[in-house]
A and B are shown apart, each in its own frame.
Chain A
Amino acid sequence: MKKLEKEEEIKLVQRCLAGDEEALEEFVSHFQKPLFNLAYRLCGNRDDAEDIAQESLVRALENLKLFKGESSLYTWLYRITVNIFYDYTRKKRELSYDQLRYREEENESEVDFPSEETVEGEMEKRNIQEIVQMEIAKLPSYYRTVLVLYDIEGFSYEEICAMLQKPLGTVKSRLNRARQLLKQKLEKYRELFEG
């Protein structure tokens, strides 16, 4: 879907604020895909991505009157999504839910799951993108965000600085660090770099 021009963005926002139901639908259907994709790349699974994208869109509609048109609507919406994603990772960390679950599974399960060392065999079953996506989801959230915005979503430094409200130096160093960390994580999948 093509990006809206600045004037089109403002018109759409004004129609939504005036209570035009068609405009609301237009707004959601226009922005749902980019926001869902961002959420999916950030959290690595569709269930959580759906919740994060839905919450972002609803919150954006509720707060539309706060959008002053200083940045582009995309930047504003992406900022909301990233903030909701940070909330989500914070809650997830507090819960440390996965630790509980895996420990229990290891103790009780009789199914012979492959160990970490057999990742080579796994390459045949999963495609490369799935593996990379899985490893991205293990990066610390601040690094993950910059990597996803720059390397997958293709935003410029300027746009990312506006979304995250961080200086250029911070964004660049986070990107550098994120790439290093991801590369380290991917090095165990030898075929990835041989192919």
Chain B
Amino acid sequence: MSKRIEMKCERIRELLSDYINGDLTQAARSLVEIHLESCPSCRAELAKLERMRSILHSFQPVEPPYGFTQKVLASYRARRERQVSPLRRFFLGGLQPRRALAYAVISLLLVFSLSLLVLLPRWTRAKQALSFPPSPTLKRAPSIISARGIGKVLILPQTPYPNQQGILRLEIMIYPPYRKERVWLNLLLSPGLSLANGNPFLPGEKEIYLGAIDNPVAFWTDVKVIAEGVQWVRVSCSSDNINWAEGFLFLPPPGPPTHYLAISQNDIDAIQLLATLVERCRRPVALPFTLSARLNFSYQGDAEGAIHYYASLLGLTSLKYNSGFILESP
């Protein structure tokens, strides 16, 4: 093909998108049509664009998840409630203004001094811990991470395995999608893990108040391995009881992959983890036996729902993990 014809084809192809939209002037339209009559390769391009457009037009609407309306309303009401002072709501409901004012002043003083007593140690501890910058260990990504929500939480172990005392240092990195107010961080550990000394959490508690964050924050916490087998850590961030980010870390046991993580049918967190992982893979997950044919892992719907549904349909009692997923029937 001569250079001139190639250039012409190139020019015509730029017009094809407008051509199928019917956006060209009569003159430009005729020019394209005359060229198409004599050029099979441009005709093929046009056919591809038209085929693609017909696929896009055939997309069916999807349904929002069950209970979505109520979830949105709950989130909206929670945010609105926060904007109205609880004191004002409580005292000004049906009281005389003067008495209400007196009540309000006394309660304000009381609440202020109490909150200082209760929250000050907690805030200072949280702040101290949060001043740790992310360390260069980012080079080693965790063996499996997954995340859910509009923000992101990453949990990165500093070393692949715990030290001789069974202690493992985790970096927790929180990425808010935009400025988030009243943020609580919640930590959930598998039964084989416990919090070691040297962490921002108060004894007996597994959540900390972060306040408002508009940039990524990172801090570390030490966990101690107290039982054998695969362990997991889940960290979630919420504002006004609405989770906006969630991260998982799966810690395989040391040595060759002979251990399995057995997940019972009622272990919702683990099943959610599996579902999230499967979804995040975005490619078929190798399932080594016949159930794979019946479990559609490219399912586009609600992943957790699908796993629950299929698990109950198949009467599954356990899901095992070993560098891949194995589903076991009873």
Once the chains bind, are A91 and B151 in contact (CB under 8 Å)? yes
Complex CA distance for A77 and B257, rounded to whole angstroms: 50
Among residues 50 to 99 in chain B, which have CB atoms less than 8 Å away from a CB atom of chain A?
A: 51-53, 55-65, 68-69, 71-73, 75-76, 79-80
Nearest CB of A to B34, in Å: 21
Once the chains bind, are A108 and B143 in contact (CB under 8 Å)? yes
Complex CA distance for A110 and B142, rounded to whole angstroms: 16
Complex CA distance for A101 and B300, rounded to whole angstroms: 21
For A152, what are the chain B residues with a Cβ–Cβ distance below 8 Å?
Answer: 56-57, 59
B244 is an interface residue with CB less than 8 A from chain A: yes
Complex CA distance for A136 and B150, rounded to whole angstroms: 19
Once the chains bind, are A47 and B143 in contact (CB under 8 Å)? no
Nearest CB of A to B66, in Å: 11
Once the chains bind, are B76 and A132 in contact (CB under 8 Å)? no
Once the chains bind, are A94 and B59 in contact (CB under 8 Å)? no
Nearest CB of B to A58, in Å: 5
Once the chains bind, are B62 and A175 in contact (CB under 8 Å)? no
Chain B residue with Cβ nearest A48:
B150
Q: Contacts A28-B72, A36-B68, A53-B64 known; A192 to B51 CB distance under 8 Å?
A: yes
Once the chains bind, are B284 and A108 in contact (CB under 8 Å)? no
Among residues 136 to 166 in chain B, which have CB atoms less than 8 Å away from a CB atom of chain A?
A: 138, 141-145, 147-152, 154
Chain A residue with Cβ nearest B47:
A193
Once the chains bind, are B64 and A33 in contact (CB under 8 Å)? yes
Complex CA distance for A51 and B61, rounded to whole angstroms: 18
Complex CA distance for A183 and B13, rounded to whole angstroms: 12
Among residues 158 to 195 in chain A, which have CB atoms less than 8 Å away from a CB atom of chain B?
A: 172, 175-176, 179-180, 182-183, 186-187, 192-193
How many residues belonging to A are interface residues under a CB distance threshold of 8 Å? Answer: 67
Once the chains bind, are B68 and A54 in contact (CB under 8 Å)? yes
B23 is an interface residue with CB less than 8 A from chain A: yes
User: Interface-forming stretch among B123-131, B188-196, B218-226, B275-283?
Assistant: B275-283
For B23, what are the chain A residues with a Cβ–Cβ distance below 8 Å?
Answer: 172
Contact of B62 among A40, A91, A132, A180 (CB under 8 A): A40
Once the chains bind, are A25 and B284 in contact (CB under 8 Å)? no
Contact of B61 among A37, A101, A112 (CB under 8 A): A37
Contact of B18 among A29, A48, A176 (CB under 8 A): A176
Q: Interface SS of chain A: helix, strand, loop or mixed?
A: helix
For B68, what are the chain A residues with a Cβ–Cβ distance below 8 Å?
Answer: 32, 36, 50, 53-54
Once the chains bind, are A101 and B177 in contact (CB under 8 Å)? no
Once the chains bind, are B175 and A111 in contact (CB under 8 Å)? no
Which residues from chain B sit less than 8 Å from chain A, CB to CB?
A: 14, 17-18, 23, 47-49, 51-53, 55-65, 68-69, 71-73, 75-76, 79-80, 138, 141-145, 147-152, 154, 175-178, 244, 257, 276, 279-280, 282-286, 298, 300-303, 323-324
Beyond A95-B175, A128-B55, A179-B53: 16 further Cβ-contacts under 8 Å? Answer: A32-B64, A47-B303, A48-B150, A54-B75, A61-B76, A91-B176, A100-B145, A101-B141, A105-B144, A110-B257, A110-B323, A114-B283, A134-B282, A176-B14, A183-B48, A192-B51
Which residues from chain A sit less than 8 Å from chain B, CB to CB?
A: 24-25, 28-29, 32-33, 36-37, 40-41, 45-48, 50-55, 57-58, 61-62, 87-88, 91-92, 94-95, 97, 100-101, 103-105, 108-114, 122, 125-126, 128-130, 132-134, 147, 151-152, 154, 172, 175-176, 179-180, 182-183, 186-187, 192-193
